[in-house]
Structure 1
Amino acid sequence: MTITHNHLTSRCGLCTSPVTALRLTAGGQRACATCVAPMQVCDYCDLPTAAAAPADDYGDLCVVCTNTLGLYPCDECPTLIGHGDTCTVHSALRPPAFTCDHCRTRRTGETASLATQERELCNACVGYFHVCEDCNLFDEYSTAVDSSDSPQAFCYSCARDHDYYECLSCERLIDQGDYCVNHIDHAAYDAIHDYYFKPEPIFHGTGPRYLGMELEINVPRGQLAECIDDATGALGELGYLKQDESIARGFELVTHPMSYRWALESFPWHLLDNLQAKGCTGDDIGLHVHISRAAFVNSFHVYRWMKFVYRNASDVQTLARRQSSYAAFDDHERVMVKETCKGERIPQRTLAINTQPEDTLELRVFASSLDIGQVQAALAFADASVSYTRDLTISDLAQRGAWNWDSFTRWILTRPKYSPLTRELENLACAC
């Protein structure tokens, strides 16, 4: 469409030059012949356009016609389409659509995987199937395990041919025994009490300062039954095993109350070496020491002991080999120790010192360990810190720096019974 004027009074809507003839563009502007010359012509409205895009079944279209026809770009290229997600060129390149035989979902744009009896599986469902190592066909069956604990996958037919059968606790295939490696420890769990198990305490050694140890232990897969037998056999009436949510696989070894000297002389320390040899660890879990409240002379003694531990948080954490939200050193709790000792408040149990137990104070700071020296050092610190703070006077605290860690370490040097603690502090100093 060309518009002619008799006088040079019109201007091009694009270059603003005065002209005698203008042409309407797809964008609704009137342009001169010079501006229209390089433009494409929309194959739908026949008007010149500065930007035209290819479209399936329409040719090249301007933006206005693209919007009018409701077209949109192909997922793979700029070609405009009216339905689907790809243009005719790319649709031809895509795998044919199919319905997954497992989830019954119509799938496009992916290739089907074939399972037993030539079932077609989508990418999401193929992971539920396994290739039989005997006949090389897919089968919907969990991985089987042989007597050496090496994984093998069989279809039902081949499993029967190889005399495999199901674990009593799951559908996993085994060739001997009653349980697969995931459940072979099934019977052993009876020896692990639940978290709330708390028998009547049996006291060992001379009081009133008794220590109770809670040692969390990780056990490797397939070793739980044997490790439980080792632990219960070595402990006898000294302790028991419990569940704890912080232990992914293993148990918490809990002792009845022991005096420090009795623990050094009579605890079955060889058990820790045996468990470590079987691959057990204390990684990322804790060792807690309960101290009998009867070990403290009065509430002032409790105050001095708690204040000493909180004031030396950095050194205690170095000795304990961990900083944990399950054994937190909280500045507010340090300030409020006096109110806690008076019984005016009950702080949360996940602090460095848990004051909630009725008969004990729980020192939660230590990282678990199966190193005999480290565990003995934890017991030594619990006992020594209570003994050290027992008779401290105001003069000791104000004038002789008795709150300081150095004063405490000099004090334990003169007491050979705390040699496990001294050795551990020396080892830590050398490590630094």
Structure 2
Amino acid sequence: MPTAVLVDLAECETCSAHRPTAELVETAENEHLCSGCVAALDLCERCELPARDTALTTADDYWCAGCRAHRTLCADCDRYAPYIVAVLSGGDVCESCAEAYTACDDCDARTTDSYTVDGFRAVCEDCREDYTRCRGCRTLIRGREDYCEDCAQPDDSRVHDSDYTPRPIFHGHGPLFLGLELELRTTIHGYNDSVTTANNELDGVGYLKHDGSISCGFEVVTHPMSFDYAINEFPWSVLGRLRLLGCYTDDEVGIHVHVSRAGFDSPAHIYRWLKLVYRNETHVTALARRRDSQWASFDPDIRDIAKHLAHGGHGWGRYHAINPRPAHTFELRVFASSLQRQQVQAALGFAHATVEYTRTLRAHDVVAGHGWEWATFTDWVAEHPEYAALTAELAALTPTDTREPSSNLEDLACAS
């Protein structure tokens, strides 16, 4: 009679089936499972044991919970990493994901929010506390100095050379931005105080430049501003302060308004704008308080090549009512200079209003609605309260209604 063989049985910890102990497989979680239950598990690629819970590591392997116990989950890629980088204002990320964040040039920390400082470096929010803004261009500079190297002048007069062109700082929301150039004369004795006052008041919105046509004085130049920002945020009180210090204007100084090319919808839009201004020379010069100026000529030849200018042509010279030579702007040069807030705001308002008015102007509006005529334009302006200063200046004039239907077929075609 054969001898009975005793088999040591154990229970599978998943399905509770009894199997020979030697057939049960130990898992990474120290469980003992039958072959059927083990087949449903993944294999840890580090310890090579079956595991209920595996996760991806930065080495592109799947590890069990025990093997990855000393690794940290990256907040960006959801993989476990042996080394982790703490991101300021963010989470803990792996070294690979950390490369997507800016490294502070002062403390080397990675950060979600960085600040550009003088020299085109970037610093984190904590190190930002060691910097202040240049009063000329608003660039962050180290320490508590007032001006960066570009803006500082050895004699502290802070009036830049005529060819000075700093990095533009855009104020407000585009795409249509305006840049103001206001030419002023000063008395000899009031020059230094006027310069100091102007720079203190402008405080990053603008700066001062020398102008070869001004024997004693300077030019106030602003950074690009939206029309809304210019009206509501520009330090208009500076005009009164400069007037009290003896600053004045005459027939030889003017206001120039740069209008961003990016603010136009198309070459056709530029063409309509140029035509509106040039076709209304008499009214424009009356509003601008400046007739027959050698610095802002209404040259008929320029009017004739408006289509060429609208498509990127530059014409010749820059002393025209509209100077098309700047690469990124058109320079409206028609206005006489002023220290009166309403007159300066009217100049900005005219530049902005003419662009917006011609934005949707079409051939039908020109033919049936006298769209290019002054009275039609000024009626439109009166319906827009944001142009209050321009409306007030227009009300002070006594324009004559000279509506003359256009017979220029090319003009009408290009208006569409």
Normalising by the residue count of structure 1, what TM-score does the alignment of the two structures yield? 0.55
Q: Residue type matched to 2:181 in 1?
A: E
Partner deviation per Cα, 1:52-108 (whole Å, 9 max, x = no partner): xxxxxxxxxxxxxxxxxxxxxxxxxxxxxxxxxxxxxxxxxxxxxxxxxxxxxxxxx
Task: For CA contacts below 8 A with separation 6 or more, give which structure has more relative contact order.
Answer: 2
CA shift digits 1:337-384 (9 cap, x unpaired): 112222345331101000000010000000000011100000000000
The size of the alignment, in residue pairs, is 245
Residues 1:374 and 2:368 aligned together = no
Residue 57 of structure 2 is matched in structure 1 by none
- 8 Å CA contact 1:212–1:257 kept in 2: the answer is yes
Q: 2:313, 2:258 → 1: CA distance?
A: 22
**CA gap 1:349/1:279 in 2 versus in 1, 3 angstroms:** same
Whether 2:280 is the aligned partner of 1:304: answer: no
* CA pair 230-190 structure 1, distance change in 2 beyond 3 A: closer
Match of 2:387 in 1: 418
| Alignment partners' CA distance in 1, 2:302 and 2:340 | 31
Change in 2 beyond 3 A, CA 1:219/1:187: farther
* Identical positions, percent: 47
Match of residue 331, structure 1, among 266, 281, 300? 300
Q: Return the offset for 1:336.
A: 1.2
How many angstroms apart in 1 are the aligned matches of 2:369 and 2:260?
29
Structure 1 unaligned residues grouped into runs of 5+: 1-185
Q: Does residue 361 of structure 1 match 2:322?
A: no
What residue identity is the alignment partner of 2:375?
D
1:217–1:189 CA distance, 2 compared to 1 (3 A): farther
The 1:188–1:315 alpha-carbon spacing in structure 2 relative to 1, beyond 3 Å, is farther
Matched residue type, 2:344: V
- Kindly state the Cα deviation for residue 429 of structure 1 after the two structures are TM-superposed: 3.3
Structure 1 residue 188 displacement after superposition: 5.6
Alignment of 1:263-342 (within 5 A): 263-284=230-251, 285-323=253-291, 324-342=293-311
Question: What does residue 397 of structure 2 align with?
Answer: 428
1:317 Cα deviation after fit: 0.3
In structure 2, distance between residues paired with 1:266 and 1:330: 35
- Distance apart, 1:283 and its partner CA: 1.1
Q: Which of 304, 312, 315 is the matching residue for 1:343? A: 312
Instruction: Give the Cα separation in 2 of the matches to 1:256 and 1:351.
Output: 22
CA contact (8 A) 1:273 1:370 kept: yes
Q: Comparing both structures, which one devotes a greater share of its residues to helix?
A: 1
Following TM superposition, where does structure 1 have runs of at least 4 consecutive aligned residues deviating by more than 3 angstroms?
186-190
**Structure 2, gaps ≥5 residues long:** 1-152, 400-416
Secondary structure, counterpart of 2:397 in structure 1: helix
SS across alignment from 2:392: helix
Read off the aligned partner of 2:286 and give its amino acid letter.
T
Larger Rg: 1
Q: Work out the CA distance in 2 between the residues paired with 1:294 and 1:307.
A: 19
Q: Alpha-carbon deviations, 1:135-157, whole Å to 9, x = none?
A: xxxxxxxxxxxxxxxxxxxxxxx
Task: Note closer, same or farther for the CA distance 1:322–1:380 as it changes in structure 2 (3 Å cut).
Answer: same
Secondary structure class of the residue paired with 2:332: strand
Q: Secondary structure at the match of 2:269?
A: helix
In the other structure, the counterpart of 1:403 is 372
